[in-house]
Structure formats: C-alpha cells, structure tokens
Amino acid sequence: MRKVQLEAIETEKRNLFFDYLLIADESEEIVRAYINDGEMFSICCEGKIAGVVLFTFHSNGIVELKNIALTEDYRGKGLGKIVVNEAFDLYKIKGLNKMIVGTANSSIDNLAFYQKLGFRMVEIKKDFFKNYPTPIYENGIRAMDMVMFEKEL
C-alpha cells in the first residue's frame, strides 16, 4: 500500500492546481465556478503530487465530494479509495453526517468506484450536462445526466 497524504491548499494557491481539476471536470467554466469553494487538498504519494480533491459543504451536516482527480500514473492503484476513506473519517470527526457525490451517467468506472466505497444512488439530475459548453463523451456514451450518490458517515 502506498503512503498517501492530503495537504490543504490555501485559497490563493488553488489556481496552481487548476489543470488537475480539469482531469475530472472538463469544463473550465464550471471548474472556475467552484475552485474557491470549500476545502481543497493536494493528494501526495511518495513525495509527489498525484492529484487533487475538493469538498464543498451543504446545510444539515452534508459534505460534497466535488472533484477528485488523479494523474494517469496514479490511477488504478487504490489511491482514490484511500483518499475518500480518509475523507469519511475526517468529516465524521468534524461532525458531518453524510457525504454526497455526483458523476455522469457515462462515467462507468466512477459509477462502480463510488458504489464499491459504500455510496448509494439517490437521485438523477436529468440533462445536467446539457449546460456544459462542449458535449462530453465517455465509453461511447454522451454525458447527459448527473447520477447522485450519498453515504452516511
């Protein structure tokens, strides 16, 4: 198991990590709308930046996993699972009671990833990705709807 550390990124330094956020969210416009919200962490593995994760906060003790992105060299090695599990612990200690996350209907790997972590599907936001300036295709499927998941902490 690789050693993974989350390091908080100050708001004024977040733009330095903009390209990482674009790995998971292809719309620069959308990323610019949330980059300064919530808490953002760099994901460090063996002394190198492997990616970023950003969380936003809602009422009623809900934290949203807004963006998690790993560079290609670090995908498929269990780092995402470690990061999300650490976030479960972190936000439970902070008194939050639920984590939510959304992903595209076309993001087959993400749909499996979140369910393996214990998230449950709770909502479909129809036509969510129609607002994106450029259509997104994954696995030969156009991203149209946002599938929302939640997990009790």
- Taking alpha carbons only, the member of 101, 104, 110, 102 closest to residue 135 is 104
Report CA-CA distances (Å) from 5 to 73, 83, 119, 144.
Answer: 17, 8, 23, 34
Domain spanning 4-152, CATH class: alpha beta
Structure confidence at residue 9 (pLDDT):
98
Pair 21, 31: CB distance under 8 Å: yes
Predicted model pTM: 0.93
Q: Is the pLDDT of residue 2 over 80?
A: no
pLDDT (tens digit per residue) in 72-111: 999 999 999 999 999 999 999 999 999 999 999 999 999 9
| Mean pLDDT of all residues belonging to the chain | 95
Q: CA quadruple 55, 22, 116, 50: dihedral positive or negative?
A: negative
Q: Is the pLDDT of residue 115 over 80?
A: yes
